[in-house]
């Protein structure tokens, strides 16, 4: 993966065109963000269709584009080669309660590779999937059923699409704002068990792999745990008389 990312950056530099990766998962995004600057030939921007998307494409920018802009680059202007497709039941009356696993399995069963798919968002009986533009028509033509539910698909204009993740508020006290303490609060599990997840390379902060339990988390950091979910650390609410810290988390649901 590291060699592939470097090659995409090299192509953008020497051909003077924007080059794009496939959708990158958390591990792959961490590899990209961890690459020394002297290994890449260009700057890059990542985008997954909405703020805080977990799976994102990388766009490697030739110097002419990088230097012609001031301030933050608008990801929506970079022509990322993916689209959003909405999936709804054909007959709501007979629709099942479908899960992320149901949608993902149905799409992969069509022969579409995981790297061509971004996040799958579920909003009630509707789902939105981000998919490589070259496969969007195929998906719309071939996907007729998810589990036992007949479905219909339609393309969504990314510029018109807005998504605000749903979350539950979690409040509680911790001894410190260390990573393992916040994980224990968010997932109602022991610090010992969660430490194994950190050491096993399953925990990320803002897309970067964390391998130390004692990492101090900052306000608005997003912590993702593969296979368990993610939450945003909102900050300290107050201190208790016993000098513990009362914090607020937003756990995505």
Over the chain (253 residues), the average pLDDT of each successive run of 10 is: 95 95 93 91 92 91 64 70 95 86 96 97 92 97 95 90 87 93 91 83 89 90 90 94 93 88
pLDDT at residue number 74: 65
SS3 249: strand
Radius of gyration in angstroms for the set of CA atoms belonging to the chain, rounded to a whole number: 20
pTM above 0.95, yes or no: no
Q: What DSSP string runs through 83-104?
A: EEEEEEESSGGG-----HHHHH
Architecture label for domain 82-160: 2-Layer Sandwich (3.30)
What CATH number matches the domain at 167-252, 3.40.50.2300, 3.30.428.10, 3.10.290.10, 1.10.10.60?
Answer: 3.10.290.10
CB-count exposure of residue 117 (10 Å: 0-12, 13-18, 19+): buried
Domain ranges of the chain: 2-77, 82-160, 167-252
């Amino acid at each position: 993966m590291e060699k592939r990312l470097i090659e995409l950056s090299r192509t953008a530099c020497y051909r003077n065109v924007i080059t794009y990766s496939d959708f990158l998962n958390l591990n792959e995004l961490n590899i990209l963000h961890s690459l020394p600057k002297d290994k890449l030939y260009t700057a890059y921007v990542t985008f997954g269709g909405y703020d805080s998307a977990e799976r994102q494409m990388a766009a490697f920018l030739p110097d002419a584009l990088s230097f012609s802009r001031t301030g933050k680059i608008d990801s929506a202007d970079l022509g990322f080669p993916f689209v959003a497709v909405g999936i709804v039941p054909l007959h709501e009356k007979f629709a099942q309660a479908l899960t992320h696993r149901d949608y993902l399995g149905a799409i992969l069963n069509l022969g579409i590779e995981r790297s061509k798919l971004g996040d799958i968002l579920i909003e009630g009986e509707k789902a939105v999937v981000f998919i490589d533009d070259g496969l969007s028509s195929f998906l719309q033509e071939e996907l007729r059923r998810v589990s036992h539910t007949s479905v219909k698909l339609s393309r969504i204009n990314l510029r018109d699409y807005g998504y605000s993740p749903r979350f539950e508020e979690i409040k509680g006290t911790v001894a410190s704002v260390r990573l393992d303490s916040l994980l224990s609060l968010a997932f109602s599990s022991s610090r010992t068990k969660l430490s194994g997840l950190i050491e096993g390379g399953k925990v990320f902060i803002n897309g970067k792999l964390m391998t130390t339990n004692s990492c101090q988390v900052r306000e608005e950091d997003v912590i993702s745990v593969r296979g368990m979910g993610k939450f945003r650390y909102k900050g300290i609410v107050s201190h208790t008389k016993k000098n513990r810290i009362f914090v607020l988390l937003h756990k995505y649901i």
